């Protein structure tokens, strides 16, 4: 029997190994077969049952590679030694692992509130995550989206941000609209690059399986069969956030993340995230998770910086309150003074 087995283009490098080392190992395991790997195909020749068994194991190896991001010699030996592929289970051994990133990196829910995000995603179709910088809001949401895509629960991932300037004017930058907007969207690219091979990510983006776009580009769309993440939602106005939330279509999950202490909107505009927190929290199917400095997973100094800024802002608020109370007291005293005229 002679059979040609197609290999997913994104799996070729990982499946074949450095200098075809994995193919050489498979040749030593399946000694009765002649195996030729060229491009995106493996040609195999031998007895019928041997060829069919080899094909089953190649599919399992590809499945393992897609799930864990790497394929070791031990993985190949264990998978090819299985007597029945129905006994093969993809199991990381850690219930907190959300997805396996590039080169087998474990993307986990680390803090209690990150674990709440994972649990909430299983129960709710819309989840708001509000908290300070460095708490893993966006990173965890992107990991959940990548997992859903890998498991074929959805057909696409859409990541979006409001294009609001954080104290800087990017209008002078060279390039077209995409070049000017990329600085706003870079954190979303960074998270994705951690979680899947570059070639696969580029392929997904080219095919619009993964889309990264400014919030304004969501207007008029219906987002079906998608995992949609709105990042930096504190910089969306009330009308923008309402527009975004009403894009939700069938079999869709929406994650909205933001930090209400870092609002870059003009002072005369209200943050849509603050308004949503007040009016949407009682709707079944919508959940709100509030992160704090205990969830910070960046450098230990980030927690200290956030705490110090919070203390300073609370101090300013107290001073403003005292000044207001003092002014009201003075006004009351003036109003009660007798008129000598």
Q: Are 280 and 274 in contact (CB under 8 A)?
A: no
Alpha-carbon gap, residue 242 to 121, rounded angstroms: 21
Contact, 256 vs 230, CB < 8 A?
yes
Q: Which CATH architecture has domain 2-87?
A: 2-Layer Sandwich (3.30)
Please give the DSSP secondary-structure letter assigned to residue 196. S
Domain spanning 97-298, CATH class: alpha beta
End-to-end CA distance of the chain: 117
- According to DSSP, the β-strands at 226-230 and 253-258 are parallel
Instruction: Tell me whether residue 95 is exposed, middle or buried, using C-beta atoms within 10 angstroms of its C-beta: 0 to 12, 13 to 18, 19 or more.
Output: exposed
C-alpha distance from residue 327 to each of 176, 242, 276, 314, 333 (Å):
52, 39, 33, 20, 10
* Per-residue pLDDT, 168: 43
Residue with tokens 């006994």: 87
pLDDT score recorded for residue 120: 94
Q: What is the pLDDT of residue 155?
A: 93
The residue with tokens 């002072």 is: 267
126 alpha carbon, distance to own chain's centre: 14
Burial, 169: exposed, middle or buried (Cβ in 10 Å; 0-12, 13-18, 19+)?
exposed
Low-confidence ranges of the chain (pLDDT < 50): 166-170
- How many CB atoms lie under 10 A from the CB of residue 67? 17
Of the CA atoms within 13 Å of residue 193, those in its CB half-sphere come to 6
For 140, the token pair is 């965890």
Which residue is listed with tokens 């990173």? Answer: 139
What is the pLDDT, as a whole number, of residue 94?
55
Instruction: For the chain, give the mean pLDDT.
Output: 83
Q: Count CB atoms within 10 A of the CB of residue 259.
A: 21
């Amino acid at each position: 029997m002679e059979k040609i087995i197609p290999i997913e283009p994104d799996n070729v490098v990982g499946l074949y190994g450095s200098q075809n080392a994995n193919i050489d190992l498979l040749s030593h395991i399946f000694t009765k077969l002649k195996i030729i790997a060229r491009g995106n195909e493996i040609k195999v020749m031998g007895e019928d049952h041997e060829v069919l068994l080899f094909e089953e194991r190649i599919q399992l190896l590809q499945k393992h590679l897609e799930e864990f991001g790497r394929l070791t010699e031990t993985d190949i030996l264990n998978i090819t030694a299985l007597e029945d592929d129905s006994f093969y289970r993809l199991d990381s051994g850690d219930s907190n692992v959300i997805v396996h990133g590039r080169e087998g990196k474990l993307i986990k829910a680390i803090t209690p509130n990150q674990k709440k995000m994972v649990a909430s995603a299983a129960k709710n179709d819309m989840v708001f995550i509000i908290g300070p910088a460095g708490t893993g809001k966006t990173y965890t949401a992107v990991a959940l989206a990548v997992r859903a895509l890998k498991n074929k629960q959805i057909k696409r991932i859409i990541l979006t941000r409001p294009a609001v300037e954080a104290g800087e004017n990017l209008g002078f930058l060279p390039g077209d609209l995409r070049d000017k907007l990329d600085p706003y969207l870079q954190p979303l690219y960074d998270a994705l690059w951690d979680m899947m091979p570059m070639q696969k990510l580029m392929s997904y983006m080219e095919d619009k399986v993964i889309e990264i776009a400014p919030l304004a580009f969501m207007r008029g769309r219906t987002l079906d069969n998608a995992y949609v993440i709105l990042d930096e939602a504190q910089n969306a106005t009330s009308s923008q956030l309402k527009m975004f939330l009403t894009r939700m279509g069938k079999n869709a999950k929406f994650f909205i993340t933001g930090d209400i202490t870092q609002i870059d909107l003009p002072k005369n505009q209200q943050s849509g995230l603050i308004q949503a927190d007040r009016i949407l929290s009682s709707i079944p199917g919508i959940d709100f998770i509030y992160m704090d400095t205990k969830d910070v997973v960046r450098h230990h100094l980030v927690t200290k910086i956030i705490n110090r800024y919070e203390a300073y802002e609370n101090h300013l608020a107290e001073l403003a309150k005292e000044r207001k109370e003092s002014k009201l007291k003075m006004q009351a005293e003036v109003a009660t003074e007798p008129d000598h005229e």
